[in-house]
């Protein structure tokens, strides 16, 4: 078995094992956790506490089929097999509330926030290497900001945000929702700016620390947060900070972005790297149900004909992104022709298939009930930063041809400026199309894009089709005054005694 080439190998941390216990209410107060008298004394304590922030990443709900169900709402994909709760989510049916898929990921993110707050509060007082201390505190600010951002984007609007935990008074865990999402964004802004000021660049990390937070990752989420906040000046500013740093670049070949050999390439910014020897479960979730008898694929998140048809002739991203019936591919070392009797759509995402191409499944978790691979599945990558800059420019009535053509030139695999269809006077429609084609099936979240652009209602009023041209998902009723945010987990409302309220209309 090939071990993942990074060594944030998070072991069971006896000294802080109690951090995994969860209280009622927001589930952020550990029961029997170490006190300042027994912990927070040494550099080793600080490192253990830092490693513990990442241990939720391995959960299926965190960056697997839990969180991904939100993105499955888009017109790019359908539920690949019958799953009532998943189907209800895709149809914006409130009967999904209280089910097992999405409830835990709220709690899991508050566990990370709790651990980050403990570090920010306690590590400054530890006598230890100052450069390591700085990095550790920066990691805590980064993960706090990232967790709040992921939740605020899904649950928060002008009516209510998500609860902001009092960092200096952690015992006060009965906290209502923030007044509005802008309160969350202001807090996220502060955390990510602090993180960026403390963290090193990725290339300043040792290989043993690959997968930890770094400076341009903080800038990346600042840029994306500002885009969501419609602060286009700052979205462009922080995208430029990354571009002008010289630390990142587009790989020449689009499909190779999703190769294990390029886990830590110039395009890498932040990925779903888990705390085990294996990475994200998403490739296994997207693999053919039962994996043609060789591996336990789960058969979720299958591409639609609408996505397939969104690509222009000559755009090499289409074949790199989607397997259609009759396509050749390599699976467990054998050449195969793609077909499926299981997939709702008859298509499969191809982006994450490289780990399954090797004989003997050497890049796969041998536990098929947890079908992770050692591929770094991107959460945000350099191409998205270029697209964020382009969108921010267009929203300021600036020209974004340079940025969009950078993306398009690679998409056609062109080494020549005259051998791909360049855009002149690009519009927001061009930006929307490029973002869809470039980032399909990724955590960039097309559903959230459609919502923030005001396009979701019209997009979802159309049925979705499979590879044979037949309707596989009927038109849906999306109410932009209700469904622009997701329902707060019922368990959090119940545990708070009603202090945490549900989003109106759900």
**pLDDT 10s digit of each residue in the chain, 506 long?**
333 433 343 333 333 333 333 333 333 333 344 566 689 999 999 999 999 999 999 888 898 888 889 999 999 999 998 889 889 999 999 999 998 888 999 999 999 999 999 999 999 999 999 999 999 999 999 999 999 999 999 999 999 999 999 998 877 667 999 999 999 999 999 999 999 999 999 999 999 999 999 999 999 999 999 999 999 999 999 999 999 999 999 999 999 999 999 999 999 999 988 766 688 899 999 999 999 999 999 999 999 999 999 999 999 999 999 999 999 999 999 999 999 988 999 999 999 999 999 999 999 999 989 999 999 999 999 999 999 999 999 999 999 999 999 999 999 997 767 789 999 999 999 999 999 999 999 999 999 999 999 999 999 999 999 999 999 999 999 999 999 999 999 999 999 999 999 999 99
CA distance 191 to 183: 13
CA distance 422 to 434: 12
CB 116 within 8 A of CB 146: no
User: What is the domain range of residue 395?
Assistant: 14-277+378-484
* DSSP H helices in 98-231: 103-122, 130-155, 181-198, 215-229
Q: What angle do CA 302, 442, 407 make, to 5 degrees?
A: 115
Q: How far is CA 401 from CA 58, 224, 411, in A?
A: 39, 20, 15
CA dihedral 318, 323, 327, 331 (to 10 degrees): 130
Q: Is residue 383 part of a domain?
A: yes
Phi, psi of 108 (to 5 degrees): -60, -40
Look up the CATH number of the domain holding residue 418: 1.25.40.390
Other C-beta atoms closer than 10 Å to the C-beta of 491 total 16
Other C-beta atoms closer than 10 Å to the C-beta of 169 total 10
What is the DSSP pairing of strand 471-473 with strand 464-465? antiparallel
Cα within 13 Å of Cα(52), Cβ side: 25
Q: How many domains does the chain have?
A: 1
Largest CA distance in the chain: 68
CA distance 170 to 329: 52
Q: Is residue 88 part of a domain?
A: yes
Strand-pairing partners, residue 284, are none
Q: Is residue 431 part of a domain?
A: yes
| DSSP 8-state symbol, 292 | G
What is the DSSP pairing of strand 302-303 with strand 77-78? antiparallel
Q: Is residue 476 part of a domain?
A: yes
Per-residue confidence (pLDDT) for residue 223, from 0 to 100: 98
- Burial (CB count within 10 angstroms: exposed 0-12, middle 13-18, buried 19+), residue 322: buried
Rg for the chain (alpha carbons), in Å? 22
- Tokens standing for residue 298: 């789960």
Q: Is residue 101 part of a domain?
A: yes
Q: Is residue 223 part of a domain?
A: yes
Whole-prediction pTM: 0.93
Q: Is residue 44 part of a domain?
A: yes
Per-residue confidence (pLDDT) for residue 21, from 0 to 100: 32
Per-residue confidence (pLDDT) for residue 16, from 0 to 100: 39
Q: Is residue 419 part of a domain?
A: yes
């Amino acid at each position: 078995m090939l071990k993942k080439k990074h060594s944030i190998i998070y072991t069971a941390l006896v000294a802080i094992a109690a951090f995994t216990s969860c209280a009622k209410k927001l589930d952020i107060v550990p029961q029997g956790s170490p006190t300042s008298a027994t912990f927070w004394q040494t550099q080793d304590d600080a490192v253990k506490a830092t490693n513990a922030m990442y241990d939720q990443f391995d959960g299926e709900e965190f960056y697997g089929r839990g969180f991904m169900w939100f993105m499955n709402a888009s017109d790019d994909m359908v539920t690949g097999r019958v799953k009532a709760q998943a189907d209800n989510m895709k149809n914006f049916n409130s009967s999904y509330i209280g089910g097992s898929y999405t409830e835990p990921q709220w709690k899991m993110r508050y566990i990370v926030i709790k651990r980050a707050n403990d570090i920010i509060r306690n590590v400054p007082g530890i006598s230890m290497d100052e450069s390591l201390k700085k990095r550790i505190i920066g990691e805590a600010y980064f993960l706090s900001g990232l967790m709040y951002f992921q939740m605020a984007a899904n649950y928060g609007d002008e009516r209510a945000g998500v609860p902001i935990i009092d960092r200096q008074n952690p015992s006060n865990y009965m906290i209502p929702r923030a007044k509005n999402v802008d309160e969350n964004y202001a807090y996220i802004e502060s955390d990510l700016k602090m993180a960026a000021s403390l963290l090193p660049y990725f290339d300043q990390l040792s290989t043993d620390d690959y997968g930890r937070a770094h400076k341009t990752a903080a800038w990346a989420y600042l840029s994306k947060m500002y885009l969501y906040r419609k602060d286009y000046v700052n979205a462009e500013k922080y995208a430029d900070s990354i571009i002008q740093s010289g630390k990142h670049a587009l790989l020449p070949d689009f499909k190779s972005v999703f190769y294990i050999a390029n886990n830590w390439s110039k395009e890498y910014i932040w990925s779903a790297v888990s705390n085990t020897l294996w990475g994200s479960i998403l490739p296994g979730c997207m693999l053919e149900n039962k994996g043609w008898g060789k591996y336990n694929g789960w058969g979720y998140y299958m591409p639609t004909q609408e996505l397939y048809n969104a690509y222009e002739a000559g755009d090499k991203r289409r074949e790199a992104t989607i397997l259609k019936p009759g396509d050749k591919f390599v699976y467990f070392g054998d050449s195969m022709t793609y077909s499926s009797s299981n997939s709702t759509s008859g298509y499969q995402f191809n982006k994450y298939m490289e780990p399954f191409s090797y004989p003997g499944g050497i890049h796969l978790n041998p536990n098929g009930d947890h079908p992770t691979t050692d591929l770094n599945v991107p959460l945000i990558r350099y191409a998205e930063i270029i697209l964020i800059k382009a969108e921010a420019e267009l929203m300021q009535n600036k020209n974004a041809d340079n940025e969009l053509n950078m993306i398009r030139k690679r998409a056609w695999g062109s080494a020549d400026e005259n051998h791909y269809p360049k855009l002149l006077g690009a519009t927001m429609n061009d930006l929307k199309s490029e973002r869809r084609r470039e980032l399909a099936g990724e955590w960039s979240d097309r559903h959230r894009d459609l919502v923030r652009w005001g396009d979701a209602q019209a997009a979802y009023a159309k049925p979705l089709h499979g590879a044979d041209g037949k309707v596989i998902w009927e038109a849906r009723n999306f109410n932009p005054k209700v469904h622009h945010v997701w329902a707060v987990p019922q368990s959090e409302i119940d545990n708070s005694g009603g202090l945490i309220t549900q989003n109106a209309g759900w």
